[in-house]
Amino acid sequence: MKFVLKKTLLYLLLSLLTFVFIFPIILVLINSFKTRFVIQNSPFSLPDSTTFAGIENYVRGLEATDFLASLGRSLFITVFSVVLITVCCSMTAWFIGRVKGRLGNGLYLLFVFSMVVPFQMVMFTMSKVANVLGLDNPIGIVFIYLGFGAGLSVFMFCGAIRGLPRGVEEAAWVDGCSVVRMFFSIVLPLLKPTLVTVSILNAMWIWNDYLLPYLVMGSDYRTIPVAVQYLKGGYGSVDMGALMAVLIVAIIPVTVFYLFTQKFIIEGVAAGAVKG
């Protein structure tokens, strides 16, 4: 009897918390179907026949922000940055792990040091450097992300490489395998769990990043977070309807991605913390 009561209480409490966690998103979803002027004054009401706006808000919001272009840009930047970061940083980490002495240690410390430095410290000078080098576009920014994401990624790969058995590599070396081929056909497959973790942590960061793409590319190439802020940041009264609609379409891609990969994401975060 006591056991059943305890269990029921547990479910009640968790369901209440679930509601609290989902409620903000549901509220925005409801408001995205209301006419723009009623949102501000009665955000908690359901749309009725006079306040129902259909998909009007979505049409206005997507048009004002050129949302589809932003979506494509965000996808492009995130995918290519993550691929470049995982490949280059795992290579660098292997180099650091296998080359003993001052060079390896010095590089390692340098990368760890960069993790402590907040973005504000380099934001002004970095955007100027990116500008001078012509990296202020969706292709160039991928290299900026490699540079700025290298700290954490190299650090995590170094941790994984310390645990790799040396025997396999030495056997391949005796068989006359070149070091570059050895890395790609032997080391990289062994690093798979860390590759997943590093990809996830970087993807979450880059997809949602606002300040770096805004400062480097300006509003010529807006990613999704920059597009949302752009909609709100203009002068005059804010179109609340369009804002609600854009918030929803900004959440949809992440949610879909999360539903398919949640197991990896949650495991990746837990693994990342253990190594971090």
Partner 1 sequence: MERKIRGRWYVFLLPTLTCFAIAFLIPFIMGIGLSFTEFKTVTNARFVGFENYIAVFKSSDGFISSLIFTVGFSVVTVIAVNLLAFFLALTLVKRFRFRNFYRTVFFMPNLIGGIVLGYIFQLIINGVLLNYGYTITSRWSFGFWGLVILSIWQMSGYMMVIYIAGITSIPGELYEAARVDGASSFRTLISITLPSVMPSITVCLFLSLTNSFKMFDQNLALTAGAPSGQTEMLALDIYNTFYGRTGGEGIGQAKAVIFFIIVAVISFVQLRITRSKEFDS
Residues 165-204 that bind partner 1 (CB under 8 A): 169-170, 173, 179-180, 183, 204
150 part of the interface to partner 1, by CB under 8 A: yes
Exactly one of 16, 25, 68, 109 binds partner 1 (CB under 8 A); that residue is: 25
Closest approach of partner 1 to the CB of residue 59, in Å = 19
Q: Which is nearer to partner 1, 72 or 178 (CB)?
A: 178
The burial class, CB within 10 Å (0-12 / 13-18 / 19+), for 131 is middle
State how far the Cα of 117 lies from the Cα of 136, in Å rounded to an integer.
22
Q: Considering beta carbons, is residue 55 or 266 the nearer one to partner 1?
A: 266
| Cβ 269 vs Cβ 204: under 8 Å | no
Q: Restricting to residues 197-236, name those near partner 1 by CB under 8 A.
A: 204, 207-211, 224-225, 228-229, 232
Least distance in Å: CB of 14 to partner 1? 5
Among 111, 155, 160, 191, binds partner 1 (CB under 8 A): 111
- 119 near 212, Cβ under 8 Å? yes
Q: Is 18 in the site for partner 1 (CB under 8 A)?
A: yes
Interface with partner 1 (CB under 8 A), residue from 12, 16, 46, 133: 133
What is the smallest separation between the CB atom of 180 and partner 1, expressed in angstroms? Answer: 6
> Quick check: 6 binds partner 1 (CB under 8 A)?
no
Q: How far is the CB of 170 from partner 1 (least distance, A)?
A: 7
Q: Residue from 59, 69, 121, 171 that binds partner 1 (CB under 8 A)?
A: 121
- Cα dist. 247→226, 229, 251, 259 in Å? 12, 10, 6, 18
CB of 230 to partner 1, least distance (A): 10
Q: How far is the CB of 246 from partner 1 (least distance, A)?
A: 9
| Interface residue with partner 1, options 64, 75, 83, 88 (CB under 8 A) | 88
Cβ proximity to partner 1: between 69 and 179 the closer is 179
d(CA 130, CA 144): 8
Q: Indicate which single residue of 38, 71, 89, 245 sits in contact with partner 1 (rule: CB under 8 A).
A: 89
Q: Rounded to 10 degrees, what is the CA torsion of 143, 148, 152, 157? A: 20
Q: What is the largest CA-CA distance in the chain?
A: 79
**Which x/- pattern over 26-65 shows residues binding partner 1 (rule: CB under 8 A)?**
-xx--x-------xxxxxx---------------------
- Is residue 67 within 8 A of residue 75, CB to CB? The reply is no
Size of the site for partner 1 (CB under 8 A): 93
User: d(Cα 211, Cα 218) in Å, to the nearest integer?
Assistant: 10
